[in-house]
Amino acid sequence: MMGKVGFIGHREAFGLDTAALRSTVEELIGEGYKEFIVGTHGVFDSEALRACKEAKERHPYIEVEVVLTSLNKLKRSEFGYNYYEDLNTKMYEIENEHFKRKIIVSNRYMIDECDVIVCYVYRSCWHSGAALAYRYAEKTGKRIINLYKR
């Protein structure tokens, strides 16, 4: 059985090719990946979740899991309902972390359980949380697919 695919990216994903993101998800499903895990912060996470949800409609056997860094994400909804209600949600044990580190620590836990990381990280912003996660994924030997066009 293939492992898990995680998504890491900047809050703002200027120039993100959403068609390439959807295509990447489809290619990974074609390779045998059936588990996808996505965060809830920013444009890249939103687009990754949308791509995974669309893929799940075509491939109902895949699993999409959403990582929360706050239970408030379940309470607030601009859509008038729980946007994640049809998906598995999880929250890592990060309650003792400073609020500014929760996403960083959560990203590391997510990377640890994944075999492939699909990301959108641009070099001009190497000090960001997304870049920290990218470097962590590199250090742990994960397969990385960076959708940012250099």
Name all domains of the chain by residue range, CATH numbers in brackets: 4-146 (3.40.50.450)
- Of 6-20, 96-110, 126-140, least confident by mean pLDDT is 96-110
Burial of residue 20 (CB within 10 Å: 0-12, 13-18, 19+) is middle
Q: Is 4 helix (H, G, I), strand (E, B) or coil?
A: strand
pLDDT tens for each residue of 69-111: 655 554 555 544 455 556 666 665 666 665 665 667 678 888 9
Residue 81, pLDDT score: 44
pTM above 0.85, yes or no: no
pLDDT tens for each residue of 23-74: 999 999 999 999 999 988 888 988 999 999 999 999 999 999 987 765 555 4
In order of 4, 34, 62, 91, the CA distances from 137 in angstroms are 13, 20, 23, 20
pLDDT tens for each residue of 107-126: 888 899 999 999 999 866 76
Give every strand in the sheet of 88-90, ordered side by side.
88-90, 63-67, 35-38, 4-9, 116-120, 143-146
